[in-house]
């Protein structure tokens, strides 16, 4: 029996996929969460075999959740199940530690197959993401975006969303100095000299469309 933690900020969505998974022999949803803080606590308490998470969560995104889970348990099996079809975002999720990325536009069978693959420790992508990733390798600035660490990518999306360094430090539970250092590195890696250029590039690369997160709230606590 594969025990599953299901993370999505829409209760109706969780209910639908819980019903789908309940019909499958060998799968059991043992916990649910609607945000990163709750998800991390449920992971610590319930120790699921597999975590299925969306990326767009209230507060810190699913990227941060993935990184926190992997920091706590290096061999944790995580599958991203998201509406976002941008390959740059899928790449960030995989670098954060997810083994699989499946879009919500995929047929149910693809999700079920991905669950088995990830549980077995294998990487898996839905067909649309695999194709898009291959095509994106042709784009120079996209490749530059992929050089960002998960933390830098998270800070980039918050910067473009209008957050200041102090706000970002509070949301991600890091120091303003660390945010400032990352801010500088982000601009250097992406080859821009100012925040205006950074914002223009982020818009061009659809960074805003990647996340579409709600207004930032306090980050989940450390530990």
Ramachandran angles phi, psi of 137, nearest 5°: -60, -15
Q: Is residue 86 part of a domain?
A: yes
| pLDDT(80) > 90 | yes
**Domains held by the chain: number:** 2
Confidence (pLDDT) at 162: 83
| pLDDT(38) > 90 | yes
Q: CATH code at 161?
A: 1.10.10.10
Closest Cα to residue 101, out of 63, 72, 73?
A: 63
**Would you say the C-alpha torsion 209, 150, 192, 165 has a positive or negative sign?**
positive
- Which two structure tokens, joined as six digits, stand for 185? 């590195």
- Structural domain harbouring 193: 140-211
Cα 212 from Cα 215, distance rounded (Å): 9
pLDDT in tens, 115-141: 999 999 999 888 788 767 665 654 556
87 and 172 housed in the same domain: no
pLDDT in tens, 167-185: 888 888 889 999 999 999 9
Overall residue count recorded for the chain in this entry: 223
Does an H or E element contain 177, and which? helix 176-190
Does an H or E element contain 19, and which? helix 11-22
Name the pTM for this structure: 0.67
Confidence (pLDDT) at 134: 60
Q: Is residue 160 part of a domain?
A: yes
Ramachandran angles phi, psi of 221, nearest 5°: -70, 155
Strands 2-7 and 27-33: parallel
Q: Is residue 93 part of a domain?
A: yes
Confidence (pLDDT) at 51: 97
pLDDT in tens, 91-122: 889 989 999 999 998 889 889 999 999 999 99
């Amino acid at each position: 029996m594969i025990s599953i933690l299901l993370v999505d900020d829409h209760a109706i969505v969780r209910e639908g996929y819980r019903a789908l998974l309940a019909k499958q022999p060998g799968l059991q949803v043992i916990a649910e969460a609607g945000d990163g803080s709750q998800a991390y606590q449920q992971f610590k308490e319930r120790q699921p075999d597999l975590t299925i998470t969306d990326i767009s969560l209230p507060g810190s995104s699913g990227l941060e959740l993935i990184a926190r889970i992997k920091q706590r348990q290096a061999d944790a099996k995580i599958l991203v199940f998201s509406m976002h079809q941008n390959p740059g975002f899928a790449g960030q999720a995989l670098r954060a530690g997810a083994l699989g990325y499946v879009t919500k536009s995929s047929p149910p069978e693809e999700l079920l197959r991905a669950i088995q693959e990830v549980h077995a420790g294998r990487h898996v992508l839905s067909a649309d993401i695999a194709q898009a990733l291959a095509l994106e390798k042709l784009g120079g600035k996209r490749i530059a975006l992929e050089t960002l660490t998960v933390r830098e990518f998270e800070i980039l999306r918050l910067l473009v969303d209008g957050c200041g360094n102090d706000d970002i430090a509070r949301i991600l539970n890091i120091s303003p100095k660390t945010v400032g250092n990352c801010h500088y590195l982000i601009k250097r890696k992406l080859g821009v000299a100012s925040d205006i250029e950074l914002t223009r590039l982020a818009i061009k690369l659809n960074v805003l469309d990647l996340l579409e997160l709600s207004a930032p709230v306090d980050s989940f606590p450390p530990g």
